[in-house]
Amino acid sequence: MTDTITYADFEAVDIRVGTVIDAQPFPEARKPAIKLTIDFGGEIGVKKSSAQLTVHYKPDQLIGRQVCAVVNFPPRQIGPFMSEVLTLGMPDEDGAVVLIKPDFRVPDGGRLF
């Protein structure tokens, strides 16, 4: 069971949709990862993220794909790379990350509510 939060707690987490405009292997990471450059549109702009997606995704498969990310966490240093947003996914039955995305194309920068 998880801890209960208030609706105000949920509202404090800013989850937005963006389009991956670049994806590169990240061999310097301790765990296999891909460096993403994501365009969240005008208000937020372009941000970078490191994501452990290597089981189900290749970098070239991610370009043009919409993803969801938390955009209001502080940046986090991951090896030589500064990750600015937390790209969201769910574990499959083996624990490998499967990305969360909208069912239909939506405007970049749209907020989850």
Per-residue pLDDT reduced to its tens digit, 67-94: 999 999 999 999 999 999 999 999 999 9
Q: Could you report the per-residue pLDDT of 15-50, keeping only the tens digit for each?
A: 999 999 999 999 998 899 999 999 999 999 999 999
Looking at the DSSP bridge assignments, the partners of residue 102 are none
Would you say residue 104 lies in a domain?
no
Would you say residue 47 lies in a domain?
yes
The sign of the CA dihedral 113, 20, 61, 51 is negative
- How large is the greatest C-alpha to C-alpha distance in the chain, in angstroms? 39
The total of other beta-carbon atoms located within 10 Å of residue 83's CB is: 22
DSSP 71-93: -SSPPEEETTEEE-SEE-EEE-T
Would you say residue 108 lies in a domain?
no
Would you say residue 56 lies in a domain?
yes
Give the global pTM: 0.94
Look up the domain containing 11 and give its range.
7-99
Would you say residue 113 lies in a domain?
no
CATH code of the domain containing 24: 2.40.50.140
Question: Is residue 69 within 8 Å of residue 18, measured between CB atoms?
Answer: yes
Determine what percent of the chain falls in helix, strand and coil, rounding each to the nearest 5: 10, 40, 55
Q: How many domains does the chain have?
A: 1
C-alpha R_g of the chain:
14
1 pLDDT exceeds 70?
no
